[in-house]
Chains A and B, each alone.
Chain A
Amino acid sequence: MGTLLQLARWGLLGRSLSLVQTARSLHCGVSSWIHVKLPPEPKEVDRWTEKRALFGVYDNIGILGDFQVHPKDLITGPRWLQGWRGNELQRCIRKKQFVGHRMFDQDYKNLNKRIRFLYRRFNRTGKHR
């Protein structure tokens, strides 16, 4: 009994040393301990960082400005995806049009393979072709 208690305490200590999450033990019999793992504590999220406080600002710049700027001009990201949406084949083709001339050799070859595979997949197999 004493050994079991010591083992339980060691187990508890070991767990709390390695993780923040504590474990507790239930003693439900003469000699049986059930280690109950508690769910992880929710992480503290600051809802008022600069990015979160100013999210969405200038989304209506077209309507409230004089339509000189479109909200798609605010999007930052790969140039072949700014203000545009497509499925995977369309994205691959557009990427090849925009940046294919300056891609690394292996990446360019993989892109071409992917285009070839997707073209055949979409246009030659399945119900919708």
Chain B
Amino acid sequence: MAAEPTRGSVPQPRTPGSRPILLLQSHKLFFRRTRLGQRLSCACVLGWPFLCSSGQRNALGHRLIDYQEKPPLVISSAPVLRGCHLAIPSHRTAVQAWVESLRHYDDRHVGLADLHPDVFAVMPRVDILHTVAVWQRNYKRISYAKVKTRAEVRGGGKKPWAQKGSGRARHGSIRSPLWRGGGIIHGPRGPTSYYYMLPMKVRVLGLKVALTAKLMQDNLHVVDGLDMPTFDPQYLADLAQYRRWGQSVLIVDVNKMPENITKAAASLKTITLVPALGLNVYSLLKYETLVLTLDTLAFLEEKLLWHDSRYTALYPFHLPYSDFP
């Protein structure tokens, strides 16, 4: 790697999932993702829908943009290179991801980030993803279904007719389960809770597997910050569409989010901002793309790697320990 790599010669990251993939989307964008520095010129004809003042359309009905109208991409000569702060085992190497930026719609190669392999390259345990997702669905479930038993249904204390002599079947109460309007024997009883907890390390491993899956399936994007040039929600939607991020995007940040992106995402249904504390397997499975900031990477690596080498809890962790804060 050169000491001062320019934009044209930034080396490709070594992750297996970063090979250029031919993507054909249903809304007819015939645009191949190519190696860095070789963007096809047809992108300017078929790709970018915003800033169209003239309203001209091509044969497919897509808005045409005059290439000179788009704001130019400012390329700084110093790429953002994020190394892994925590020690990596000697037999493994870091996985890498491009660092992107939200300041310009095409700012996709601001730098490279090293990701810890024990968080972003673990074994793809689909069964653990299933376990954790099912746990998330059920542990907070409280079912309020309740039916009355024969003791609770109003009435039914008196024997309806004498035991013998009337010719009818013998009965002791009009609210027995045999009767219409009677009690239910084995029905749902009262608010029922389905609470249970998975072991902490299983939940941690679930997060790691989910992050690994997102990275390996090209659905993880690292962003240097959430600064946006405008608070227009259409800008964010068009950016996500141009960069092929998918139908739904989950944006995670540790710090306080700037106003522009908060306002933009507030009116969008499928693009959601979530603080780093709110990251969870169910949301990672629901949303197609995950966008993390560099600070979030450090936060997640620190929190998730601690469990690999901690002592077992002698008492709950919310009580004070002398070794760690």
B316 adjacent to chain A (CB < 8 Å): yes
A83 adjacent to chain B (CB < 8 Å): yes
The answer to whether B194 touches A85 (Cβ under 8 A) is yes
A104 adjacent to chain B (CB < 8 Å): no
The answer to whether A58 touches B142 (Cβ under 8 A) is no
B232 adjacent to chain A (CB < 8 Å): no
The answer to whether A56 touches B136 (Cβ under 8 A) is yes
Residues on A with C-beta less than 8 A from B280 are 56-60
B66 adjacent to chain A (CB < 8 Å): no
Residues on B with C-beta less than 8 A from A67 are 316-318
Given A56-B280, A58-B278, A110-B151 in contact, is the A63-B195 Cβ separation under 8 Å? no
- Closest residue of chain B to A48 (Cβ to Cβ) is B269
The answer to whether B277 touches A61 (Cβ under 8 A) is yes
- Closest residue of chain B to A71 (Cβ to Cβ) is B139
Number of interface residues of A (CB under 8 A): 38
Greatest chain A CB density within 10 A among B191, B194, B276, B281 is at B191
Interface size, B (range): 35 or more
In the assembled complex, the Cα of A82 lies from the Cα of B151 at a distance in Å of: 28
Contact of B142 among A71, A78, A114 (CB under 8 A): A78
The answer to whether A81 touches B277 (Cβ under 8 A) is no
B140 adjacent to chain A (CB < 8 Å): yes
Given A53-B269, A63-B207, A75-B142 in contact, is the A81-B279 Cβ separation under 8 Å? no
Mark contacts of A28-59 with chain B using CB atoms, 8 A cut-off: 1 yes-contact digit, 0 otherwise: 00000000000000000000100001111111
Contact of B190 among A61, A71, A91 (CB under 8 A): A91
In the assembled complex, the Cα of A68 lies from the Cα of B316 at a distance in Å of: 10
B-to-A contact residues, CB < 8 Å: 136-137, 139-140, 142, 149, 151-152, 189-197, 200, 203-204, 207, 248, 269-270, 272, 274, 276-283, 286, 299-300, 303-304, 307, 316-318, 325
* Beyond A55-B286, A57-B280, A63-B200, 9 extra complex contacts between A and B, CB < 8 Å: A54-B283, A55-B282, A56-B283, A58-B278, A60-B277, A83-B195, A84-B193, A110-B152, A117-B151
